[in-house]
Structure 1
Amino acid sequence: MTRPDPARITAVVGNPRIGSRTLGAAASLAGTLAAHLDATEPTLVDLATLASALHVRPRSTDLDAALAAAAGADVLVVATPVHKASFTGLLKSFLDLYGLDGLAGVTAVPLVVSASAAHALVGEVHLRPVLVELGATVPTRTLSVLDADLVDLGPVVDRWWQRAERPLRRAVGASSRVEGLLEVAR
């Protein structure tokens, strides 16, 4: 089934440094996904620019826009560097702002950047369960990237895409069919 509209891709980056290498990796992955899935230009959310707004009430319009962009995405890249053998507290604080099923209908792709191959499972063990708890579908393995790979990320993303393409296309297509059925029911 062909999508009625181009897929919407958003990348949320939980690195506490503005303009980080993790942001660059997320932008690269989101761009690759957009090209493969015939999507619109990806939306990038650098949480480092919103860090001071995460625990302030009322929420800022920028933070609300970031939350809406992530929840409204067809494909959500959730990127983090490894921090103390897990994902960052900044990313956790952002994700904690969603209620139950706040990411329902979203297909999530975890992206983890680390200095050591020993942290290859951080996305699977720590990040995936949180995304699933929020209602997201996570049909692929985490894309784990070593710092050394950031010099030329293309081959790493290409290898990951070879395994991820089929489940990702299925998940995005299924999401599109559900949205179409909901529109008909309205």
Structure 2
Amino acid sequence: MSGSWSLVIPVKPTADGKSRLDGARLPRPALALAIALDTIAAAADARCVDEVIVVTSSADVIAGLEHIPGTRAIPDPGMGLNGAVRAGLAQAAGPARAAMLGDLPALSAHDLDGALTAGTQYARAFVPDAEGTGTTLVMWRDVTLYESRFGAGSANEHRAAAFVALPVDAPGLRRDVDTAEQLRDAAQMGLGPRTTNLLRAVEAA
């Protein structure tokens, strides 16, 4: 398996997370926490990942990291998503660095390993989201090129900045979740244990 990657995952406070799920009759902060921790745990299990740096000011996320080896938290500087990514990249140990969204509840370590291995061929690369317009993972192999462009239309932004779009077959890596429909899509792929248990508890209530 190729790599030795430092991976940054920015996570906003769970009280503010998943606001577009407000109408879905789900416990939104608890769901945001479960999704984030499932994402982080899957990333930490990837063989290509040496360390996972979680950029967050959320106390419940930080507490959850105590049960996920290979992770550490640094404070969110409050400069938005790309500002959080920059802060995490500045703390990374090795030259091969990546940043990934924290709302990928169907992520598998296998899918992440495949993408990171493919990314070793390029100075910088990215994985588009399921819709093809956003970005879920960005990778850098050149220490002079660390800058992400997460946000609306980020796939085109990354292409314009000479990032290579990787055509990986990794549905869990590409399925970020902001809406109830996207959550149902992720559930068909297989959710992580925390998200699964939470949704089962909600259904049983």
TM-score by length of 1: 0.39
- Relative contact order (alpha carbons < 8 A, sep ≥ 6): 1 or 2 greater? 2
Higher helix share: 1
TM-score by length of 2: 0.36
